[in-house]
């Protein structure tokens, strides 16, 4: 039987209406079942439940650039966790001193910490191999890649376990090489001329520079300028132009020697109390881990922006005289490093194991890097028409 066009249209409309009614009934039943499911024995999940709060203290003052970088990590964690986890960041001294964070986190006094490995190398000098050392020709980026891909993370885990530290940790931000530092008079051009200086640094850099004849005081950033004013030290390094300028380095010294092997690389170490970390669900653990990698990119950009601007301000506004550390000083540092390593590899458990791992990684990765790297300095001086300091 044939139907008119009007009848066909009417039939189609009726079918569509019936289909829509069926869909509405289906989704209505499904929604009812979903609401009723907890009654059948499944737990009710509340979207309004209170977040897990972790207290994290840094080793940095509230106004330091490193606190801004720590906050970059915290912001990423808090946003990605969707309100289920929140880190509250505290500056140095809020709960414990800058060098006491490892113990505080291990014991549960703090839930988390943001610092560098050199700040707890008093427990084992191996710790500083994950930060203020080692010297091998590797760039900071190569050093961080060793931790992520070359076995460094596993060795760090082994070290903290041997020391009975109840922590888990992640590394972030390959810091640019740190300057040799600040001097009241023109910095020495010969390695032998460093002998006798009272100097501030931390970690294995202290061993290296003591081998060169310097008297080293290990001080947190906030104590450097007062120590310089009192004559406790007469030269120092901290980290970079921004951090140095913010705590007033330019007010106590006017000569800035850029570049050095004493801390040719360093990374932030972000640690969590292991018991509290292990109690978190897997997705929140992943957020804490991978936020460190995300913050690494952000902190690198923050460093490039701030360090470059503030170096110019130190030169132009504060009349700081900037120079490059000499080749003779570099060679003296390498000779001192050889002696330090020879001694510590015999005396300190795990030192040789960790250093050998890093050297093996550096030998392969740095060979590629230096074989392939373009002459950026040549291009810079050609395009920018600027001669770099010597």
pLDDT in tens, 99-113: 999 999 999 999 999
The 8 Å CB, 24+ separation contacts for 9-17 are none
Range with the lowest mean pLDDT among 12-21, 48-57, 322-331, 366-375?
12-21
Q: Provide the edge-to-edge strand list for the sheet that holds 215-217.
A: 215-217, 198-200, 235-236, 181-183, 255-258, 321-324
pLDDT at 10 exceeding the cut of 80: no
- CA distances, 350 to each of 49, 124, 146, 155, 353 (Å): 45, 9, 17, 9, 5
pLDDT confidence of residue 220: 85
pLDDT in tens, 167-221: 999 999 999 999 999 999 999 999 999 999 999 998 899 999 999 999 999 988 8
Q: What percent of the chain has pLDDT over 90?
A: 82
| Separation between Cα atoms, residue 332 and residue 329, nearest integer Å | 5
- Which conformational region is residue 137 in: left (phi greater than 0), alpha (psi within -120 to 50 degrees), or beta? left
| Separation between Cα atoms, residue 344 and residue 350, nearest integer Å | 10
| Separation between Cα atoms, residue 156 and residue 160, nearest integer Å | 6
Q: What is the mean pLDDT of residues 126-150?
A: 91
pLDDT confidence of residue 134: 66
First-to-last C-alpha distance (Å) of the chain: 99
Place of tokens 């950026």: 376
Give the pair of three-digit tokens for residue 196: 């006798």
User: What pTM was computed for the model?
Assistant: 0.85
CA proximity to 338, closest of 190, 208, 214, 213: 208
The domain spans of the chain are 52-174+266-302
- Which conformational region is residue 319 in: left (phi greater than 0), alpha (psi within -120 to 50 degrees), or beta? left
- Is there a contact between 140 and 267 (Cβ–Cβ < 8 Å)? yes
Range with the lowest mean pLDDT among 10-19, 95-104, 257-266?
10-19
pLDDT at 37 exceeding the cut of 70: no
The burial class, CB within 10 Å (0-12 / 13-18 / 19+), for 79 is: exposed
Query: What is the pairing mode between strands 235-236 and 181-183?
Result: antiparallel
- Is there a contact between 219 and 273 (Cβ–Cβ < 8 Å)? no
pLDDT at 273 exceeding the cut of 60: yes
pLDDT confidence of residue 135: 83
pLDDT at 62 exceeding the cut of 90: yes
Give all strands (DSSP E) within the chain, no chain letters: 52-58, 85-90, 112-115, 167-172, 181-183, 198-200, 215-217, 235-236, 255-258, 268-273, 321-324
Q: What is the mean pLDDT of residues 22-31?
A: 42
pLDDT in tens, 219-258: 888 899 999 999 999 999 999 999 999 999 999 999 999 9
Range with the lowest mean pLDDT among 34-38, 147-151, 270-274?
34-38
pLDDT confidence of residue 131: 84
Higher pLDDT, 110 or 18: 110
pLDDT at 84 exceeding the cut of 60: yes
| Separation between Cα atoms, residue 69 and residue 86, nearest integer Å | 17
123 pLDDT tier (thresholds 50, 70, 90): very high
Q: In this structure, which CATH number among 3.40.190.170, 3.90.550.10, 3.40.50.970, 3.40.640.10 belongs to the domain 52-174+266-302?
A: 3.40.190.170
| Separation between Cα atoms, residue 68 and residue 159, nearest integer Å | 29
pLDDT at 343 exceeding the cut of 80: yes
């Amino acid at each position: 039987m044939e139907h008119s066009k009007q009848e066909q249209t009417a039939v189609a409309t009726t079918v569509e209406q019936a289909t829509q009614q069926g869909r509405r009934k289906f989704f209505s039943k499904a929604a009812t079942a979903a609401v009723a499911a907890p009654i059948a024995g499944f737990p009710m999940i509340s979207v309004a439940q209170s977040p897990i709060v972790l207290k994290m203290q840094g080793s940095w003052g509230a106004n330091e650039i490193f606190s801004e970088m720590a906050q970059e990590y915290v912001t990423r964690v808090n946003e990605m966790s969707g309100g289920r986890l929140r880190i509250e960041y505290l500056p140095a001294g809020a709960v414990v001193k800058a060098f006491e964070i490892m113990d505080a986190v291990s014991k549960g006094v703090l839930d988390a910490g943001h610092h560098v490995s050199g700040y707890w190398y008093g427990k084992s000098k191996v710790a500083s191999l994950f930060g203020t050392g080692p010297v091998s020709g590797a760039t900071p980026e190569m050093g961080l890649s060793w931790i992520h891909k070359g076995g460094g993370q596993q060795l760090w885990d082994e070290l903290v376990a041997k020391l009975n530290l109840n922590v888990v940790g992640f590394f972030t931000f390959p810091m640019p090489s740190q300057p040799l530092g600040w001097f009241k008079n023109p910095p020495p051009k010969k390695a032998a001329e460093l002998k006798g200086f009272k100097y501030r640094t931390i970690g294995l850099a202290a061993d290296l520079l003591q081998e060169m004849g310097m008297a080293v005081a290990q001080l947190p950033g906030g104590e450097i300028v007062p120590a310089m004013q009192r004559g406790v030290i007469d030269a120092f390094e901290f980290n970079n132009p921004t951090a140095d300028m913010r705590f007033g380095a330019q007010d106590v010294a006017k000569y800035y020697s850029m570049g050095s092997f004493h801390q040719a690389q360093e990374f932030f170490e972000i640690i969590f109390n292991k018991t509290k970390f292990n109690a978190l669900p897997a997705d929140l653990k992943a957020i804490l881990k991978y936020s460190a990698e995300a913050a690494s990119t952000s902190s690198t950009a923050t460093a490039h922006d701030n360090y470059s601007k503030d170096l110019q301000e130190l030169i132009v506004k504060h009349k700081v005289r900037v120079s490059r550390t000499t080749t003779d000083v570099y060679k003296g540092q390498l000779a001192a490093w050889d002696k330090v390593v020879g001694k510590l590899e015999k005396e300190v458990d795990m030192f040789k194991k960790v250093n050998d791992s890093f050297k093996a990684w550096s030998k392969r990765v740095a060979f590629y890097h230096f074989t392939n790297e373009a002459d950026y300095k040549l291009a810079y001086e050609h395009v920018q028409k600027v001669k770099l300091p010597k």
